[in-house]
Structure 1
Amino acid sequence: MAEPRFAEYARNSPTSAAAKPSKPQEQTSNLPPESKGAMATECQGSSDNCRPSSVLFENPSKSLVVIDIPSSLEESQVLPSQIPRLRIVSAEPPAAPYPNPEPRHGRDDPSAVASPAAQLAELMTTAAVNSALQDLAVSFPGPFHRPRVLQPQAPLLSGLPPVLPEKAEPLHGSIEDLCDSFHMSAPLFNLVVLDPPWPNRSARRKTDKYATVRNLDDMRSLLLHIPLASHLAQDGLVAVWITNKPSIQAFLTSPMGLFAAWGLEVVTEWTWLKVAASGEPLYDVDSAWRKPWEKLVIAKRTGSKKPDALNSRVIVAVPDVHSRKPNLRGLFQDILGEGFLGLEIFARNLTAGWWSWGDEVLRFQQPEHWTETEDM
């Protein structure tokens, strides 16, 4: 069996400056107001001599990968050839799985009323997750996350501009308001990532800015405002994060669904398995009420060639702050090449070299979310 690929600080060569543990400063207010390019430095020599990847483990077939979410976001702040010099302020990783949620008001098991197609899809996802857990038990003992910067966030300081990555193009505003501007100015993209605000009662109860639409009809109307077909490269990919409600997957993939309206067909799915610091799923895999995963549905233009390296994958990661997901740029480089152009819609942060569009596109670019390091 091939040697697993690890990326922990302790196993890097002590002669590599990029491999030294960081010593983040306690305050974020020392960031230069003119900060551009996330204070990056060029990576010299081979990639092995650069800062360790956010990939903590990857099996030989690349069907299973363990990702450190904060590191993936830090790496996204600079171009692939550069070393990040900022650390993102993160949440304490959950130490152990959460208790399984109990049904309220005597509700029936949701799987009992799901369509046969939805039940089959859930069985396939469960099988993939169980296979990944068995692989990890044999091949990767951990750790499942890197040390995080946990100091309390400073109060929002008005007048300080956001931290802007190099060659990032933010479109700060709603889909409806910026649709025409986007259509006139945007290039062709090799990858379009969407994290839509799906209808969700629990999300609407939250006090943050995670706004959701009322229903799937409103969501369809909103998403069809996006001129996606005219800005997706001929061999481009579209990746959409979805919740575990069967109606949402059908909304995308049914014969009359959104992908069909965009001229797309499904290629594969990636599953983000959320784990505690111990490596255990946050919820019981067989729980009927809360699954420990979210899925990324990946599509291509109908009739176009499927990239050879694009296959199903389980992404294992310890969650961070609410609404943060793993940055996908690094995971798609093996599929699309290092220089591919990406667009993220409903973004909450920027990615170097990408376009990002949404009401909260600068949310996690504010200076209080970042701290400078002396070494990485």
Structure 2
Amino acid sequence: MASSVLFKSSDGAVVGIDIPRSLEEAQVLPGQTITRHIISTHPREAPWQTPEPKKNTTRDVSASAAIAELMTLESVKSALGMARTSHNGPWCLPRVSREKTDVPPSTVQARPGTDGNDNAARPHKRKHKPSSSLLPLTEDKETVFAGAFVPEQSHYLLGTIQSQHEAFLQDAPQFDLVVLDPPWPSRSVKRKSDSYTTVHSTEEARELLSQIPLASHLKRDGLVAIWVTNKASITDLLLAPGGILGQWGLEPVGEWIWLKITSTGEPVLDIESAWRKPWERLLIARKVGSRIMPPMSTKVILGVPDMHSRKPNLRGLFDETLPKGYAGLEIFARNLTAGWWSWGNEVLLFQQKHHWVPLEDEQDS
């Protein structure tokens, strides 16, 4: 079975990854063989054509944000050059698509409010464990619960940040890595009728993130990785004096970039576009005073996008940075990872059985 890592530069700064395979690998513990394929979209073959804005947008961007964008652009150009000269294989693995399977789409799919909303959906309860609405679930082998696959040694809190706050404080251990994919405000997401719920403003995002008791559950030399959009206001919310990282007692230590490419290895958008960028960034931070290594080198991850809101699973990519068997947590998760904790009001979204087919039934497109 091919690995999710399709290629990697000698220094590890450029990595090609197959996103569906990374999610499949995350369903089992490291070293185990995957047992099923996730149903995906067809890989895009050609870049999107995006109209450019009529007015000059650079004047609305601060000098620091403009410099950061230029640095990201240079990292992307360098990574593309390396990949094109040294990689001769495919840019993604064969995928299982919906029309190639007999698995029907979900007829009912809850769309609760944001993770900061107390009116969002409450956690599922196991019939034989009435109190489990406030407890993570732990299994020594994979199980199926409420129509969802629960990977081995995975733990989850299904509910909002507010509703599961006390359960997290009481039961969660300390973690080596915390990954967050916050529901940042996004006009493009709001235009999609089937999109996930986002917050409405950066202030609402600040309020939501401020409620997460992250500092008390991060090991002294642990790392925090936060997916961010390309809006300068989002980065400022995290990094500016008095920002979220400061509230959590963290300092930035590096940045990874997910460059979205087509099945032919081209960026899905013009990298010079002023309107939209073909990448998302992952800001990495550590505790102030941590003994962990000095600032990390920028890493560019090349990957063909899958369904909207699916990102590469990062468990394997942090193996070279963190201790063997490190403890991981994903907040605002939409799927589970074997051996990890996951927390969010859509934490079982992509664990539902209708998103998967057994390995023996695969029908790759």
> TM-score interval w.r.t. the shorter chain?
0.7 to 0.9
Q: Which residue of 2 is the match for residue 133 of structure 1?
A: 80
Structure 2 counterparts to residues 161-172 of structure 1, below 5 A: 161-172=147-158
Q: What SS does structure 2 have at the residue aligned with 1:374?
A: helix
Q: What SS does structure 2 have at the residue aligned with 1:334?
A: coil
Which residue, 54, 62, 70 being the options, matches 2:12? Answer: 62
- 1:189-220 CA-to-partner distances (Å, cap 9, x unmatched) read 10000000101122122222511111111111
Which residue, 188, 191, 216 being the options, matches 1:202? Answer: 188
* 1:113 paired to 2:99: no
* 1:263 paired to 2:249: yes
Q: Which residue of 1 is the match for residue 331 of structure 2?
A: 345
Q: How far 1:160 moved relative to its partner? A: 5.8
Q: Label 1:157 to 1:69 Cα distance change in 2 as closer, same or farther (>3 A).
A: same
Deviates more, 1:118-127 or 1:216-225: 216-225
Structure 2 counterparts to residues 325-336 of structure 1, below 5 A: 325-336=311-322
Residues 17 and 303 in structure 2, CA contact (< 8 A), matched pair in contact too: yes
Residues 160 and 367 in structure 1, CA contact (< 8 A), matched pair in contact too: no
Q: Which residue of 2 is the match for residue 254 of structure 1?
A: 240
Which residue, 337, 347, 350 being the options, matches 1:361? Answer: 347
Q: Which residue of 2 is the match for residue 147 of structure 1?
A: 94
Residues 194 and 241 in structure 1, CA contact (< 8 A), matched pair in contact too: yes
Which residue, 22, 30, 39 being the options, matches 1:72? Answer: 22
Q: How far 1:358 moved relative to its partner? A: 0.5
Deviates more, 1:309-318 or 1:242-251: 309-318
Q: Which residue of 1 is the match for residue 266 of structure 2?
A: 280
* 1:214 paired to 2:200: yes
Deviates more, 1:270-279 or 1:111-120: 111-120
Letter in 2 for 1:83: T
CA distance in 2, matches of 1:72, 1:347: 15
Q: How far 1:235 moved relative to its partner? A: 0.5
CA distance in 2, matches of 1:345, 1:177: 14
Q: How far 1:309 moved relative to its partner? A: 9.3
Residues 52 and 273 in structure 2, CA contact (< 8 A), matched pair in contact too: no
Letter in 1 for 2:351: Q
Q: Label 1:155 to 1:279 Cα distance change in 2 as closer, same or farther (>3 A).
A: closer
- 1:126-151 CA-to-partner distances (Å, cap 9, x unmatched) read 00000011111210123100000013
CA distance in 1, matches of 2:30, 2:309: 24
Q: Which residue of 2 is the match for residue 323 of structure 1?
A: 309
Letter in 2 for 1:53: S
Q: What SS does structure 2 have at the residue aligned with 1:249?
A: helix
Structure 1: give runs of 5+ residues left out of the alignment: 1-18, 20-51
% same residue: 52
Letter in 1 for 2:322: L
Residues 91 and 303 in structure 2, CA contact (< 8 A), matched pair in contact too: yes
Letter in 2 for 1:179: H
Number of residue pairs aligned between Structure 1 and Structure 2:
323
Q: Label 1:113 to 1:54 Cα distance change in 2 as closer, same or farther (>3 A).
A: same
Q: How far 1:375 moved relative to its partner? A: 9.3
Residues 177 and 223 in structure 2, CA contact (< 8 A), matched pair in contact too: yes
Q: Which residue of 1 is the match for residue 217 of structure 2?
A: 231
Letter in 2 for 1:141: N
CA distance in 1, matches of 2:172, 2:243: 25
Residues 347 and 361 in structure 1, CA contact (< 8 A), matched pair in contact too: yes
CA distance in 1, matches of 2:105, 2:89: 35
Q: Which residue of 1 is the match for residue 129 of structure 2?
A: none
Q: How far 1:307 moved relative to its partner? A: 3.1
User: TM-score scaled to structure 1, two decimals?
Assistant: 0.83
Structure 2: give runs of 5+ residues left out of the alignment: 109-144
Letter in 1 for 2:271: V
CA distance in 2, matches of 1:286, 1:243: 17
